[in-house]
Homo-oligomer: A and B are copies of this chain.
Amino acid sequence: METLSTVRSHRGEQGVYRHESTTCHCPMTFSVFLPPQADNGPVPVLWYLSGLTCTYANVMEKGEYRAAAAEHGVAIICPDTSPRGEGVADVPDSFKLGQGAGFYVDATQEPWSTHYHMYSYVTEELPALVSKHFNVDMNRQSIFGHSMGGHGALCLALRHPHTYKSVSAFAPIVAASETEWSRDALTTYLGTDEDALKAYDATELVKSGSRVADILIDQGDADAFLEDGLRPWRLEAACKDAGIPLTLRMQPGYDHSYFFISTFMNDHIKWHAERLSA
């Protein structure tokens, strides 16, 4: 693992790192914010998964997470959103497919299956790497994310309820196999077998029996993707049927941007910190 940069911020250290991923078969870059509490002992880990077009860097610069992470003593780890590089399959003129749009799946279809293994990367390779290099307590992990990353966070938490103590999301894609703009990506990566798709659909996972303790979702009601792409009420209905307490907060006037994410970042980190220390 190579350190690309470290900088002091909010009494902790914001770092950017690169490594040769054996899962994605390419160099991968990610960021880690270590709160000051990591100087004194292992700290819990909160994974943040970003949305379409983003890298690890967008939320690092605009997410305003460090103040709350330092207050609550939580490490924030932000993976990239896909494999990247010249040899990695891509659709340069699409923001919904290819590089920057990994959808946190393990692709099974050519040419994507060579590199697009973000599911295994985020659940296996990166946690192993992080636990080796940073003063973190891997028995206390939680996960959250935005949009496509909210989809990733929800799916990972539902599929690994014993790994992640808690899950939340900003404006997530909650039914990735149904909504047009995500279904296209999923079928490209996974084919059209419905069972394969449903394994990466939070609403379908809940319907088929996956469970988490509770879920927090913030969603702006001025979000341009709300009606076409996000529709959090689908997950809300499924959770109601399943008896999963879901707090869906419709936030008046907020859009899909980092101006929205940063507004509610403190609330989400506090939510996770309470569950990580429970």
* Chain A interface (Cβ < 8 Å from any Cβ of B): 7-11, 14, 61-62, 64, 66-67, 220, 222, 253-255, 257-260, 262-263, 266
Tell me which of B7, B222, B263 contacts A10 (CB under 8 A): B263
A254: chain B residues within 8 A (beta carbon): 8-9
Tell me which of B14, B61, B259, B266 contacts A7 (CB under 8 A): B259
Given the complex of chains A and B, what is the CA–CA distance between A61 and B261 in angstroms? 12
Tell me which of B7, B220, B266 contacts A8 (CB under 8 A): B220
Q: Report whether B67 and A64 are in contact in the complex, using a CB–CB cutoff of 8 Å.
A: yes
Tell me which of B9, B61, B266 contacts A260 (CB under 8 A): B9
Residue of B nearest to A7 (CB): B259
Q: Report whether B255 and A7 are in contact in the complex, using a CB–CB cutoff of 8 Å.
A: yes
Q: Report whether A8 and B62 are in contact in the complex, using a CB–CB cutoff of 8 Å.
A: no
A259: chain B residues within 8 A (beta carbon): 7-9, 14, 66
Given the complex of chains A and B, what is the CA–CA distance between A257 and B6 in angstroms? 12
Query: How far apart are A26's CB and chain B's nearest CB, in angstroms?
Result: 28
Residue of B nearest to A258 (CB): B61
Given the complex of chains A and B, what is the CA–CA distance between A97 and B100 in angstroms? 36
**Contacts A7-B257, A10-B262 given: A61-B61 contact, CB under 8 Å?**
yes
A262: chain B residues within 8 A (beta carbon): 9-10, 64, 66
Q: Report whether B64 and A8 are in contact in the complex, using a CB–CB cutoff of 8 Å.
A: no
Query: How far apart are A113's CB and chain B's nearest CB, in angstroms?
Result: 36
Given the complex of chains A and B, what is the CA–CA distance between A67 and B64 in angstroms? 10
Given the complex of chains A and B, what is the CA–CA distance between A262 and B7 in angstroms? 12
A260: chain B residues within 8 A (beta carbon): 7-9
Across the A-B interface, give the 3 residue pairs with the lowest CB-CB distance, nearest first: A9-B259, A8-B253, A7-B259
14 A–B contacts, CB within 8 A, in A order: A7-B255, A7-B257, A7-B260, A8-B220, A8-B222, A8-B259, A9-B254, A9-B260, A9-B262, A11-B263, A61-B61, A62-B62, A64-B64, A64-B67
A8: chain B residues within 8 A (beta carbon): 220, 222, 253-255, 259-260, 263
A10: chain B residues within 8 A (beta carbon): 262-263
A263: chain B residues within 8 A (beta carbon): 8-11, 66
Query: How far apart are A66's CB and chain B's nearest CB, in angstroms?
Result: 7
A253: chain B residues within 8 A (beta carbon): 8
